[in-house]
């Protein structure tokens, strides 16, 4: 949750800026309130809790998107987990030191260390062509500490993305292939929002709402893992089925059970009518707000008197 005091200050800051008031006459930003931690601090807290409650799990590396490419997160996460590799992204305008001179990452890789073509295995499966260049560089935003910086551009892309890793003893290809695993969290988001429906449901806000939504979603995931066909895959150590296909299969299973139940009734026709009435009450058709039928859109055209006044020609 954002600090309400800081939020109020930001609104006032924008208002005074528009008025042209100099910074010296605008209120100073309120001090940080630990009761409203930032995302990076929450992420580090989650890592600490994970290490505490799951000490037997060995962490090889931590993968994070560009939001967590700061010194605070990368060093903090590495220290929490005993110095493991942390891989994130850097912004293209961040400065590095090359032969004692300051340069942006973009300038360095475009002018000094140009990329070469290579083949990368993505998430342990498909091989793709990419242009890659790498170097161990001092990064200003990380207090001049040396990071393994990689310029990566997949085939068909115009711009480089810049990966950064804390452990400079890894090979370039290993860092790139490890970072490709970060996309798995996006697959989870797709399942969570699209197939499980959480993205379409109303959410309860604040800490309590966050935990309740998470608990419900985990219970649903647990039910899907206990699906008989999914359990068979897990027991036989074969690839499990996607959430989308399990959802469709479960829907059809429910439909078949419903048909079977109807056929076992003494009067299936009458029972079907009863179900039809219930369905009509529960699943109501809603008028679309995207279509303009039945609405007045106003007069879309010039006014003759105004036309003569402003467009005499």
Q: What is the pLDDT of residue 205?
A: 67
DSSP 8-state symbol, 104: E
pLDDT above 60 for 307: yes
Q: What is the pLDDT of residue 204?
A: 64
- Render pLDDT for 61-96 as a digit per residue (tens, 0 to 9): 999 999 999 999 999 999 999 999 999 999 999 999
HSE (side-chain half, CA atoms, 13 Å) at 297:
6
Helix H or strand E segment including 14 = helix 4-18
| Position 115 confidence tier, pLDDT thresholds 50, 70, 90 | confident
Torsion angle of the four alpha carbons 209, 215, 219, 224, in this order, in degrees rounded to the nearest 10: 80
CA gyration radius, the chain = 29
pLDDT score of 312 more than 70 = no
| DSSP letter string, 217-271 | HHHHHHHHHTSHHHHHHHHTT-PPPPHHHHHHHHHHHHHHHHHHHHHTSSSHHHH
Q: Which residues of 252-289 are buried (b: 16+ CB within 10 A; e: fewer)?
A: eeeeeeeeeeeeeeeeeeeeeeeeeeeeeeeeeeeeee
Is 60 exceeded by the pLDDT of residue 114?
Answer: yes
Residues 6+ apart with CB under 8 A from 52: none
C-alpha to C-alpha distance for 178 and 81, rounded to whole angstroms: 17
Counting residues of the chain whose pLDDT is more than 70, the rounded percentage is: 96
Nearest to 108 by CA among 147, 73, 66: 147
Of 108-117, 161-170, 286-295, the range with the highest mean pLDDT is: 161-170
> What is the pLDDT, as a whole number, of residue 52?
95
State pTM to two decimals. 0.72
SS3 at position 97: strand
CA-based diameter of the chain, in Å? Answer: 89
**Residues 35-66: tens digit of each pLDDT:** 899 899 999 999 999 999 999 999 999 999 99
85 CB-contact burial (10 Å; exposed 0-12 / middle 13-18 / buried 19+):
buried
What pLDDT digit, counting tens, does each position of 152-210 carry? 999 888 889 999 999 999 999 999 999 999 988 888 777 777 777 676 655 666 677 77
Residues 6+ apart with CB under 8 A from 13: 26, 27, 29
The pLDDT value given to residue 55:
92
**According to the model, what pLDDT value does residue 302 have?**
84
Question: Which residue reads 């060093």 in tokens?
Answer: 75
Instruction: Sort strands 101-104 and 116-121 into parallel, antiparallel or unpaired.
Output: unpaired
pLDDT at 239 over 70: yes
pLDDT score for 251 = 86
Quick one: average pLDDT of 212-232?
83
């Amino acid at each position: 949750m954002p600090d309400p005091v800081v939020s109020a200050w930001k609104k006032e800051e924008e208002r005074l800026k528009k008025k042209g008031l100099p910074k010296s006459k605008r209120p100073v930003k309120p001090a940080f309130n630990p009761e409203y931690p930032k995302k990076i601090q929450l992420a580090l807290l989650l890592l600490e809790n994970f290490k505490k409650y799951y000490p037997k799990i060995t962490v090889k590396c931590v993968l994070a998107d560009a939001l967590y490419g700061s010194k605070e997160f990368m060093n903090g996460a590495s220290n929490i987990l005993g110095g493991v590799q942390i891989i994130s992204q850097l912004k293209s305008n961040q400065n590095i030191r090359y032969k004692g001179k300051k340069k942006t990452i973009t300038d360095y890789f475009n002018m000094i260390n140009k990329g070469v073509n290579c083949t990368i295995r993505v998430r342990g499966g498909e091989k793709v062509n990419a242009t890659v260049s790498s170097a161990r560089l001092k990064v200003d935003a990380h207090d001049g500490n040396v990071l393994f910086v990689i310029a990566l551009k997949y085939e068909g892309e115009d711009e480089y993305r810049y990966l950064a890793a804390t452990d400079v003893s890894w090979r370039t290809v290993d860092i790139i292939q490890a970072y490709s695993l970060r996309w798995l969290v996006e697959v989870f988001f797709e399942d969570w929002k699209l197939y499980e429906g959480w993205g379409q449901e109303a959410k309860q806000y604040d800490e309590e709402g966050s935990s309740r939504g998470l608990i419900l979603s985990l219970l649903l995931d647990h039910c899907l893992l206990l699906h008989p066909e999914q359990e068979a895959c897990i027991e036989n150590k074969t690839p499990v089925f996607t959430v989308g296909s399990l959802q469709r299969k479960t829907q059809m299973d429910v439909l078949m059970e419903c048909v079977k139940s109807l056929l076992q009734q003494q009067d299936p026709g009458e029972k079907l009518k009863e179900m039809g009435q219930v369905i009509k009450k529960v699943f109501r058709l809603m008028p679309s707000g995207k279509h303009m039928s039945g609405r007045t859109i106003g007069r879309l055209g010039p006014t003759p008197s105004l036309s003569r006044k402003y467009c005499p020609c």
